[in-house]
């Protein structure tokens, strides 16, 4: 069965590999002349720059993806856990977020004057909320049905209504420490949002990095794109580059994929264009 995937970013290639491995005949259509999407790389005067993402979280999800395709991630990509994960430069000093949260709390106390216990209690609360979100949303299929609504209400009840009606920056004032508030506000920008406008529940993104850890893929984040491209090739995915989709229509159980030169008809389509 033929399926078209639109976009050769990390998402598109992951999907392409899984479907090809399941026996679909997969073609990825990509407007650029290269794969990777945001996780691309540019070279200038002997230096190489990742164009977007720089920190890997959840390498185990990549491991799972490669395992699903009968492959071992280690044969495609090496990575290492970072310690420290991040270094923040604030008014002539710096402070490290370590891979151990207790060490981070000590660093914040010693350098920024926030009591360890205050920070650890703050983190404990968001770990609890994150764990609920992970179970309900991240590890479940997102379908807008009765079960989704039931779980969404459960989440609101457990996470607390206050986290929906206050902003990240407003909530973080509980820390009563401007420097640490600034650090914790940063996580709202993960989604390109402003901490002053984003609901406080986005604070749980801090848990992804501060508790679950940050990783460095060998060769930078573009190494992930390269690994996925190779995986795709190994399981038989076809790529068409310089192929810009102008429009998609769905009629009579068929997708019509419009580009400059042709219209493709397909029963199956996955769009992962941004």
| Residues at the site binding ligand FAD, with contacts judged by CB under 6 A | 6-12, 29-32, 37-39, 52-55, 57, 244-245, 272-274
**Contact, 246 vs 257, CB < 8 A?**
no
Tell which phi-psi region holds residue 271, choosing left (phi > 0), alpha (psi between -120 and 50) or beta: beta
- At closest approach, how far in Å is the CB of 45 from ligand FAD? 22
- At closest approach, how far in Å is the CB of 172 from ligand FAD? 21
Query: Could you tell me what percentage of the chain is helix, strand and coil, using 3-state DSSP and rounding each to the nearest 5?
Result: 45, 25, 30
Tokens 């459960």, residue located: 154
User: In angstroms, what CA-CA distances link 104 with 133, 200, 217, 253?
Assistant: 24, 22, 23, 54
- At closest approach, how far in Å is the CB of 224 from ligand FAD? 9
Cβ proximity to ligand FAD, 28 vs 175, nearer residue: 28
Cβ proximity to ligand FAD, 170 vs 268, nearer residue: 268
- At closest approach, how far in Å is the CB of 19 from ligand FAD? 15
- At closest approach, how far in Å is the CB of 219 from ligand FAD? 15
The SS3 call for residue 99 is coil
Phi, psi of 48 (to 5 degrees): -120, 135
Q: What is the rounded CA–CA span in Å between residue 212 and residue 85?
A: 11
- At closest approach, how far in Å is the CB of 193 from ligand FAD? 12
Phi, psi of 268 (to 5 degrees): -120, 140
Cβ proximity to ligand FAD, 9 vs 223, nearer residue: 9
Cβ proximity to ligand FAD, 38 vs 186, nearer residue: 38
Cβ proximity to ligand FAD, 177 vs 204, nearer residue: 204
- At closest approach, how far in Å is the CB of 244 from ligand FAD? 5
3-state secondary structure string across 165-181: HCEHHHHHHHHCCHHHH
The SS3 call for residue 39 is coil
Cβ proximity to ligand FAD, 51 vs 103, nearer residue: 51
Q: What is the rounded CA–CA span in Å between residue 188 and residue 141?
A: 24
Cβ proximity to ligand FAD, 1 vs 54, nearer residue: 54
């Amino acid at each position: 069965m033929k399926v078209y995937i639109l976009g050769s970013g990390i998402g598109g290639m992951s999907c392409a590999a899984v479907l090809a491995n399941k026996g679909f005949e997969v073609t990825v259509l990509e407007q650029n002349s290269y794969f990777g999407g945001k996780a691309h790389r540019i070279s200038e005067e002997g230096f190489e720059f990742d164009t977007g993402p720089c920190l890997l979280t959840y390498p185990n999800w990549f491991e799972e993806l490669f395992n699903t395709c009968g492959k071992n991630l280690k044969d495609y990509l090496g990575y290492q856990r970072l310690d420290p994960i991040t270094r923040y430069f604030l008014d002539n000093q710096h402070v490290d977020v370590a891979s151990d949260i207790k060490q981070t709390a000590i660093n914040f106390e010693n350098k920024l004057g926030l009591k360890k216990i205050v920070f650890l209690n703050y983190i404990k609360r968001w770990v609890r909320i994150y764990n609920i979100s992970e179970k309900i949303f991240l590890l479940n299929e997102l379908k807008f049905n009765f079960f989704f609504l039931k779980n969404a209400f459960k989440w609101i009840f457990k996470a607390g209504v206050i986290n929906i009606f206050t902003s990240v920056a407003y909530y973080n004032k509980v820390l009563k420490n401007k420097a640490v508030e600034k650090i914790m506000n940063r996580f709202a920008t993960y989604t390109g949002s402003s901490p002053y406008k984003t609901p406080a529940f986005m604070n749980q993104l801090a848990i992804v990095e501060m508790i679950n850890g940050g990783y460095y893929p060998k060769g930078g984040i573009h190494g992930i794109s390269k690994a996925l491209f190779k995986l795709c090739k190994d399981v038989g995915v076809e790529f068409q580059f310089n192929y810009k989709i102008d429009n998609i229509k769905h009629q009579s159980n068929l997708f019509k994929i419009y580009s400059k030169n042709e219209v493709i008809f397909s029963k199956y389509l996955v769009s992962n264009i941004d």
